[in-house]
Amino acid sequence: MEFYRVQNGFKLGGVYVRRKRYSFFIPCMFALCLCAIAAPLRAQIKQGPTPFGVPETGTLVGDTSNLAREAQDWLVELVKINTTNPPGNEQQAAKYIAGILTKEGITPEILDMTPGRSAIVARLRSSAVPDPSKALLLVAHMDVVGVDRTKWSVDPFGGVIKDGYLWGRGSIDDKSMVVANLAAFIALKRANAHINRDVIFLATADEENFGDASLKFLIAKYWDKIAAGYALNEGGKIIMKNGKVQYVGVQVAEKVSVNINVTATGKGGHASTPTKDNPVVHLAMAVDKIGNYTAPVHLTSIVRRYFEGLSAIEDDETAKWLRVIDTPDRGEHAQRVLSDMNPMWNSMMRDTIAPTMLQAGVRANVIPSEAHATLNVRLLPEDTINVLLNDLNKLVNDPSVKLQVQNEGGLAAPNSSMESDFYALITKVSAKEFNGAPVLPFLSTGATDSAQLRLHNVQAYGLRPFAMSEQDDTRVHGDEERLPLASFPKGIDLIVRIVTEFSVTH
């Protein structure tokens, strides 16, 4: 067993490490015996040192505000590096991060994927022989989605700070997570702490397109460099309501994205003599039926726990429905009300189908012989596309319309455990950071890199450590994405504490 030995009172880079040198088993045995007889005494003991030198949560990390200021500067610089995917150009961001790590005496490795596109990895070792099953991977992506510049009031790649926000594409998704991970990694290094597991920093490319520079290919090429038993990634959220943190959502699973091609075929010809065979009409009817279809509710264990937690903090009207969502008599009605109330809740309860693309015709006066639509399906992780496809075929019930699943679908991965030590620690530290706010398991309706990791037996958990309102949250991938800077220091502090406590305690 590794113990962690540093000078008492050593403090650097925001990480304060108290001397902790003890034999673990003997005090534990003693503590067990003592607990049995001393429970009534405990109330009389005022705030004193914890028994047997075991540090309480929080004593490992001191003030992180200076580190947060540094991290904010890194984030501004990263936002200025345009990594719109495609083409991505993540190599430039990787080089910038490499510069920061090198200054700290860490040797990063830039992992080239395709021309101009790279990931960057760095490792703090706990021992000469690595134990990947214990290692903690801090992962975030450097690429961003595109912008419609006409809809932005500032330069989306200017790193502009205005009205208490850092504005820019990637300021939230996901460069803020990149710098939070980087800060936690550097804090560990500066503290020179004796860690009990390898901690790996990884910034990836091509997350937004899941293409040939993405984590899938990184795993295939470089798994030995990033293999870990645990991971911290994006995917969760900390929601603010009325200026207060309402809850912390820790992503433990995600929905699976699958596309379906819809093709209607019929008799093409002169538009002056139409027939009932027009594929444009058949396609439109099919899309109408599918677009108005509501898949059956399937409450997974994660979503049940999420709604249960929410029922304790939502307003009375909402809580009333949340409490009966699973009951035989009022459940169905509650599911309908809640689905109408919040599109995310609707999507967490069932498979959804969104028609997203239409294509037909080449001339205004020509009836085409084919018409096409694309459906984007988001499956619950436990559902399969074939069952849904069967239901949709029955619904459309038109021999001239064919539905075909596209090959490159998302990945159905197992959930991360809600019973692991790491999940328990994330829950404990998050609740403490946000004054006892509930921490709830979260099924994200969007996809992240965590599915890839979960398929490789990594217990991956998704956070977005910066508290923000639903409104701020909805600007991700939208116009005027911007990070509320008031939430930034606490977000950095949260990740530093989670990473430190997981890797320097037993």
Least distance in Å: CB of 250 to Zn ion? 16
Least distance in Å: CB of 446 to Zn ion? 8
Maximum distance among all Cα pairs of the chain, rounded to whole angstroms? 94
Least distance in Å: CB of 357 to Zn ion? 22
Residue type, 294: T
Residue type, 62: G
Closest CB to Zn ion among 251 and 503? 251
| Rounded Cα gap, residues 98 and 79, in angstroms | 16
| Rounded Cα gap, residues 250 and 253, in angstroms | 9
**CB within 8 Å of 8: residues ≥ 6 apart:** 18, 19
- Residue whose beta carbon is closest to Zn ion: 174
Closest CB to Zn ion among 322 and 451? 451
- Tokens encoding 353: 């189908």
Are 228 and 200 in contact, with CB atoms under 8 Å apart? yes
Least distance in Å: CB of 476 to Zn ion? 8
Closest CB to Zn ion among 173 and 481? 173
Closest CB to Zn ion among 189 and 482? 482
- Sheet of 256-265: strand order equals 352-360, 370-379, 256-265, 401-405
Least distance in Å: CB of 463 to Zn ion? 12
Least distance in Å: CB of 84 to Zn ion? 13
Closest CB to Zn ion among 176 and 415? 176
DSSP for 335-363 reads HHHHHHH-HHHHHHHS-EEEEEEEEE-SS
Closest CB to Zn ion among 234 and 481? 234
The contact set with Zn ion (CB under 5 A) reads 173-174, 234
Of residues 64, 61, 50, 58, the one with CA closest to residue 22: 50
Least distance in Å: CB of 234 to Zn ion? 5
DSSP for 2-40 reads ------TTEEETTEEE------SHHHHHHHHHHHHHHHH
Closest CB to Zn ion among 64 and 452? 452
Least distance in Å: CB of 451 to Zn ion? 13
Say how many C-beta atoms besides its own lie within 10 A of residue 245's C-beta.
20
Closest CB to Zn ion among 234 and 254? 234
Are 497 and 58 in contact, with CB atoms under 8 Å apart? yes
For residue 303, what are the CA distances in angstroms to 250, 255, 264, 406? 12, 12, 37, 28
